[in-house]
Structure 1
Amino acid sequence: MPCRMRKVDAKAPEVDVANQPDTEVRPPDGGWGWVVCLACFLTNCTVPGTTSINGILLIEVLELFNESFSKTTIVFSIIAGAIMFGGPLVSIALMFKASHRQIMMVGGIIAAASAVASSFAPNIETLIFTYGILVGFSLAVNYFSVNVTLGQYFLKKRVLALGIATSGKGFGGFMMSYLSTKVISFYGMRGTFIILGGILLHLTVYGALCRPLKPVIKQSPNISQNEPTSADEMEGHANIGFETEGESQESKDEKCGDSKRRISEDTEPLPKMLRARKSITSEIVPSEIYKRESSYCNTTMFKNKYFHLLLAIYTTYSVGESFYVYIPLYAVSIGLSEEESSLIMAIYGIIGIVSLLLIGFLVDIIHIPTSYILMMALFITSLGSILIPFCQSFETLVLCAAMNSIGTNFASSLRIVLVSAILGTDNMTAAYSILSTLIGILYIIYPTLKGFVYEATQQLSVIFYFDSAILFLGAILSCGIVYAQKTEKFVE
């Protein structure tokens, strides 16, 4: 019987090359990466900029619904804390084969629609759901995904790219704080929610710019140069054993047997080359790489006492992050105008930009140990908080706001650095996710707790004394990290 063999289909189905051992993603360190850097900068302007005006919105929402102070602060404590839950939410979305690009675009649409829905909220309970929960968690997935995507586009220039992108946080705080009071005075609180929805809709555009990277074929020494690398060459291999005229039946059978052996020997390389060929033109989903890297959590890191100490320190640090919620309210209470209170928060954002640039200089150029900077940052923030009740003018409030901005931005910038130094890069993703989740929970608890404190005392000064005491405790605890780094328990 003649041996007839089926041709290899050049149009083989696409395979998920992100999980294949013969492909990898190489950061281009430029090119479209700078467009992604711009998208990350604008996202950092929008997301932290939205949370930076919580204090200004708090005053207006108190007047709009005439609810209790503690109940109203729940709206803004949830949206502030939700930002830190981006990691777990994105990880869940990645399990359903979504890409970071898709997550950001959908998140932007939900955030915009929820902000517009907030303008029609009849009571504070509805606002907690539409603005606090829906907007908060939608911003969280955008904020997390865009920074992960930026990290995948850069390797050698990653510090520069992240520095540029992160500076958008301070710029957004400045712009949103300055414009919010103008918008509120002209359109009212409900109109402001609609305009805010239009601003958040831009997150969909920023997400669309973060297109996935394409894979690169690894050069494997096991693949010989004589193996087929194109569809035509593969077809030539597959055509071996086709029946030709003028051949004897014996020669046909012999040739058929040889071809079967050759195909059997080449069974492993051929599918690899087919996958490689298709992977050149197919887009990779970078989220799969992140999912694989963050899918495990080494429980041995919980045996590290300095990691527990770091968690305790950032438990105290989290109290200082709600500072910007109460400053506008305190400024109005001492007789300053709402325009002056928003200007204070705008300056707070500008100082944040300077702080992010300054800490890079202190760590990378002057080589000051990060543990020393963390301790100094907590002391500065504690001092700035305890001095606020004694401030009775615009200038003194600006000074205290600057101290708080420097301290909180220094401490927040060192989170991932210290986690990596204490536990190593292998545990960095899992440990940082745990730390971020803890901080997110505390962002929700602390403002609500301080709302009850204010209702019990009817004095804002008590809130700032409370902040100062907790931050001072954190500064004392940070001495343990200083000791550990000085005795080389961990090395940066």
Structure 2
Amino acid sequence: MFFNTSLNFVAGVIHVALLETYPDTDPVTISWIGALFSSMFCLGGLLGTIVIHLSSTRTCVMLSGLLTLTGFTLSFLVTDIKYLFITYSLIAGCGQSFCCVGPLVSLSYHFQDTYSIALGIATAGSGLGAFVFPPLTQLFLDTYGLNGTFLMLGALGFQSSACGALMEPTEQELSLEPAFCCNRKNNVPEKDMSKWKDRFRFCQAVHYRLLLVNSIAFHLANSSVFLFLPDYFGHLGSTAQETAILLAVAGVTGTIARAILGMLASSIGADILFGVMFGIIGVATFFIKWMFTLGSKISYVLILGLYSGGSWSLQYVLLMETTGIKNIESSMGGLMFCGGLGYLFGPPIAEMLAIHYQDSYIIFVFSGVCFAIASISGLLIPVTAKRYYTRDVIETEIGEKDQLFMENGEEEVILDAN
């Protein structure tokens, strides 16, 4: 995840380089290139889950490296900036998405009893990219130029293919594969549409829909805050160097929070932490207009980094606990897609509101409201959710499926998603 998923953090540095390389291009067009690349980190999650359904998590992660290498290499070759929407934003963007969903699903099979701890450590590794890859990318730009930087980033992302080759599928993952696609032995496609309804029945659950609302609201707010916060701190009197240090503090605390909150979730429960932390960020965001002192700004970025970074760990832990291991791929893909929508449309909506009201503080009012919606939906999830104990599911339901397959000669047995 460090080599590929963390490339999402270089979008801002690449954005500046694109503005300098293509001065005659509309800045809005260049902004959409970067926004689409960043949002593909989540939007491509559905495609990643399809790859896992058809093959395995190992294939998904290995393919992520190939996509990243292909996307950045083609970006090196293009001469028209419009083609970067395909090569840089879509192809390379899907690469980082595949490298995110693959390991997260793989961890659910390898660490069923300590999933939250393993997830916290893994996501903390990707969080290191917040303060490693931006300066490294700037070094590449200063040394090799934009085209050379594309090649270097593609080479770094390709390392995930080597890591993915080491991710051996577990017996549980292999036994679940026939439940999500056609039979591997005869490749006979499914014709009964009711089986597809059974396969995605978890989408009808109230707690899963609340998770989707939470994901959209959180990413609407989070993307807007992190994009406009540097400029607003400058409006409040901070220097460029001071703002950079403040953002670095948010990155460091976010990385630490991913690991710590993941460990706490295994002992006190993710549902206790999940809804409350969004409310804390939302309240703090409403008061950002009066944060003139350095101490108040440090306090805010500490809260922002701690709880927004930790949400990545808690979100997937809660997803695992409420939907069960047999639905983890599909449910995670839908959750990531909704998060990508919020990530893509958050900043444009916030900027339109700021222009309409002629006040940049409206951006943070909008973000605070979205954080509040995320908090309310998060607090309602444990009320409506049924908890799954992964080992019980594996030992009973998988065994029943295998027994029916052996005794009745069924081409496949679809597990009940409820």
Question: Please, which of 48, 56, 64 is the counterpart of residue 90 of structure 1?
Answer: 48
CA contact (8 A) 1:391 1:397 kept: yes
Structure 2 counterpart of 1:147, one-letter code: L
Structure 1 counterpart of 2:177, one-letter code: K
Aligned partners of 1:300, 1:142: CA distance in 2, in Å?
A: 26
Aligned pairs for 1:226-241 (under 5 A) are none
Cα 1:428/1:190, change in 2 over 3 Å: closer
Aligned partners of 2:144, 2:232: CA distance in 1, in Å?
A: 24
Aligned partners of 1:455, 1:318: CA distance in 2, in Å?
A: 21
Pair 1:324 & 2:210 matched: no
How far is the alpha carbon of 1:467 from its aligned partner? 1.4
Paired-residue identity, %: 20
Superposed CA deviations along residues 50-87 of structure 1, whole A, max 9, x for unmatched, are 11233343344344434555433322332233223455
Larger Rg: 1
How far is the alpha carbon of 1:470 from its aligned partner? 1.8
Unaligned runs of at least 5 residues, structure 1: 1-43, 216-285
Question: Please, which of 351, 359, 367 is the counterpart of residue 253 of structure 2?
Answer: 351
Cα 1:438/1:142, change in 2 over 3 Å: same
- In the other structure, the counterpart of 2:278 is 378
- In the other structure, the counterpart of 2:128 is 171
CA contact (8 A) 2:323 2:387 kept: no
- In the other structure, the counterpart of 2:22 is 65
Aligned pairs for 1:45-60 (under 5 A) are 45-60=2-17
Aligned partners of 2:128, 2:273: CA distance in 1, in Å?
A: 23
How far is the alpha carbon of 1:351 from its aligned partner? 0.9
How far is the alpha carbon of 1:336 from its aligned partner? 6.2
Pair 1:363 & 2:265 matched: yes
How far is the alpha carbon of 1:100 from its aligned partner? 3.9
- In the other structure, the counterpart of 1:414 is 314
Aligned partners of 2:36, 2:387: CA distance in 1, in Å?
A: 36
Pair 1:79 & 2:37 matched: yes
SS class of match (2:2): helix
Structure 2 counterpart of 1:196, one-letter code: L
Count, aligned residues: 371
Aligned partners of 1:132, 1:466: CA distance in 2, in Å?
A: 27
Structure 2 counterpart of 1:410, one-letter code: G
Pair 1:111 & 2:65 matched: no
Pair 1:162 & 2:119 matched: yes
SS class of match (2:97): helix
Aligned pairs for 1:475-490 (under 5 A) are 475-481=375-381, 484=383, 490=386
Pair 1:471 & 2:371 matched: yes
Aligned partners of 1:445, 1:467: CA distance in 2, in Å?
A: 12
TM-score normalized with structure 1 length: 0.63
- In the other structure, the counterpart of 1:291 is 177
Aligned partners of 1:400, 1:180: CA distance in 2, in Å?
A: 27
Unaligned runs of at least 5 residues, structure 2: 182-195, 389-418
Aligned pairs for 1:255-266 (under 5 A) are none
More helix by share: 2
TM-score normalized with structure 2 length: 0.73
CA contact (8 A) 2:57 2:103 kept: yes
Question: Please, which of 72, 85, 103 is the counterpart of residue 128 of structure 1?
Answer: 85
Aligned partners of 1:325, 1:418: CA distance in 2, in Å?
A: 27
- In the other structure, the counterpart of 1:446 is 346
Aligned partners of 1:430, 1:399: CA distance in 2, in Å?
A: 38
Aligned partners of 1:470, 1:425: CA distance in 2, in Å?
A: 29
Aligned partners of 1:171, 1:158: CA distance in 2, in Å?
A: 20
Pair 1:436 & 2:393 matched: no
Question: Please, which of 198, 204, 210 is the counterpart of residue 309 of structure 1?
Answer: 210
SS class of match (1:53): helix
CA contact (8 A) 1:55 1:326 kept: no
How far is the alpha carbon of 1:169 from its aligned partner? 1.9
How far is the alpha carbon of 1:133 from its aligned partner? 0.6
How far is the alpha carbon of 1:171 from its aligned partner? 1.7
How far is the alpha carbon of 1:437 from its aligned partner? 2.3
Superposed CA deviations along residues 291-315 of structure 1, whole A, max 9, x for unmatched, are 3355556455455434333332322
Aligned partners of 2:265, 2:256: CA distance in 1, in Å?
A: 14
How far is the alpha carbon of 1:132 from its aligned partner? 1.0
Aligned partners of 2:235, 2:78: CA distance in 1, in Å?
A: 27
